[in-house]
């Protein structure tokens, strides 16, 4: 078994259901994901997309959709003008732990550009998600303009 290319683990004071809803709702992702909206019907085999300002940046196929437990999808960067790389895969493992939920984000089958981009992107997105769920306020959008790279600028 090969080692995943990128793994990020955090603990969020929330419920598994609220975390699942935040990860799969366009209205919520737009808030904590710095303007990006995710959309799908979240059925295995269905398409999903990640868009910002009406332009698709990432698209793929839903691979696993086990509500409040696990979500996985392929990750194909399709932003106009972006250098194309191999399709990768991201999964979210959701594990209730008393009053908190352990969230493990695994992103594998990465090309070098995608690895570079998500290595700075996922920590900001997950920190914003954690803040959003715990205190009702996402991280400020000016993180992207204050020297940090755009989350998925591809």
Q: What is the pLDDT of residues 64-118, one digit of tens each?
A: 999 999 999 999 998 777 678 889 999 999 999 999 999 999 999 998 888 888 8
DSSP assignment of 2-30: PPPSEEEEEEESS-HHHHHHHHH-HHHHH
Q: 16-24 and 112-135 are packed helices; what angle lies between their axes, rounded to 10 degrees?
A: 130
* Residue 85: predicted pLDDT: 86
Which residues 6+ apart lie within 8 Å of 130 measured at CB?
10, 12
- Distance CA(86)–CA(108), nearest Å, equals 11
According to the model, what pLDDT value does residue 133 have?
A: 96
Query: How far is it, in rounded angstroms, from Cα 44 to Cα 42?
Result: 7
Write down the pLDDT at residue 92. Answer: 98
CATH superfamily of 6-143: START domain (3.30.530.20)
| Residue position matching structure tokens 């991280």 | 139
Length of the chain: 154
Distance CA 77, CA 35 (A): 16
Where are the domains positioned within the chain?
6-143
132 or 149, greater pLDDT: 132
pLDDT at position 113: 86
Q: Can you tell me the mean pLDDT for 29-37?
A: 93
């Amino acid at each position: 078994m090969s080692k995943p290319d990128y793994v990020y683990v955090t603990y969020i004071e929330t419920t598994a259901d609220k975390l699942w809803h935040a990860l799969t709702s366009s209205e919520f992702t737009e808030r904590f994901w710095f303007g990006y909206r995710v959309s799908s019907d979240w059925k295995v085999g269905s398409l999903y997309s990640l868009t910002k300002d009406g332009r698709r940046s990432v698209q793929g196929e839903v691979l696993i959709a086990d509500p409040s437990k696990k979500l996985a999808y392929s990750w194909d960067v399709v932003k106009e003008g972006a250098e194309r790389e191999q399709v990768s895969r991201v999964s979210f493992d959701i594990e209730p732990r008393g009053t908190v939920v352990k969230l493990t984000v695994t992103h594998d089958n990465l090309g070098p550009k995608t690895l570079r981009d998500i290595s700075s992107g996922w920590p900001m997105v997950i920190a914003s998600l954690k803040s959003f769920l715990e205190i009702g306020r996402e991280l400020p959008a000016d993180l992207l303009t204050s020297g940090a790279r755009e989350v998925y600028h591809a």
